[in-house]
Structure 1
Amino acid sequence: MDKRIIGRQETADLPTFGLMNKTVKIDSGAYTSSIDIVNVRLENDLLFVLFEKGKEEVLFKKYKVKRVKSSNGIIQERYVIKGTIRLGDIDYNTPFSLTDRSGMRYPILLGRKLLNKHFLIDTSKKNLLQNTGDVS
């Protein structure tokens, strides 16, 4: 399969999280994709609040805990869940680490684990893919 060209930022749907038409940053320096969350807690299942869902909690039964080195070099333990992201007209299943990105410009980063298999990045461009799915 040929790799698709994407820009340094794209618009994506994340149906697993109920998010549509969201700007995502392409981050070839990150291994795993990540998404901004708050109030994460474990009660038999993993519960957390997404960056823009207010107080509505998201529940995941399947998750892992992994050690991740952040961009400032600090190693953190993070919950990692699998989710679907739609870029253009194709859905991809990929892991997302859950972290507080409230001080960052982009709440969603796409890392190499997704990018390496499917995309080439043109850092001089933005929004090269167009989602054809429903936008809510």
Structure 2
Amino acid sequence: MTAFGQLQVIGLREWIALPQLGMVGLRAKVDTGASTSALHASDIVPYERDGTRWVRFTAHFGTLVQRRHRCDAPVVSVKTIKSSNGHAQQRYVIRTAMALGDRVWPIEFTLTCRRNMRYRVLIGSKALVEGQFLVNPALSYVQDKPVLPVLESLPGAP
């Protein structure tokens, strides 16, 4: 069963895409204990474009083969995030479309170094609520990988 009423069931790990950033085929871990989602990023450089704050960064994804992708996105805010070990860190927050299964919706990501983590992307509870997902932690990769026709229908998709 992959649906429960209006809610779609997802597992602890799922394939996602970030089409507005030009990234497809990312493995993400669901973290219901985290409010905001997180994306592994380095070389983070803030700048201004047409009077708006933006950030340029290198996104890292892939587990066996490390892939990098240079991205630009408007800054939504800067948040202080406290990690599970109690360490507080200032992070840039961006908002971009995420595709999971057959759903595509905008979510917020904090940009942070996840170099020592197995998963380069965490999906937090706010994204799960907005996407109307139910998590079964006993399962993984329940939903199909996002397909190109769904991604191409997005405004600003590559």
TM-score normalised to structure 1 length: 0.90
One-letter amino acid matched to 1:121: V
The alignment status of 1:105 with 2:118, answered yes or no, reads yes
Shift of 1:62: 3.5
Q: Which of 140, 143, 147 does residue 129 from structure 1 map onto?
A: 143
1:59-118 C-alpha deviation (Å, 9 max, x unpaired): 223331111111211111100000111111110210000000011000000000011341
When the two chains are superposed, the root-mean-square deviation of aligned CA atoms in Å is 1.8
Give aligned-pair identity as a percent. Answer: 31
Query: Which protein shows a greater Rg?
Result: 2
1:33-112 pair list within 5 angstroms: 33-44=37-48, 45-52=54-61, 54=68, 57-112=70-125
TM-score normalised to structure 2 length: 0.78
Hey, what's the Cα distance between the residues in 2 that align with 1:58 and 1:14? 11
Shift of 1:132: 4.7
- Corresponding residue pairs, total: 134
User: Which consecutive segments of 4 or more residues in structure 1 shift more than 6 A?
Assistant: none
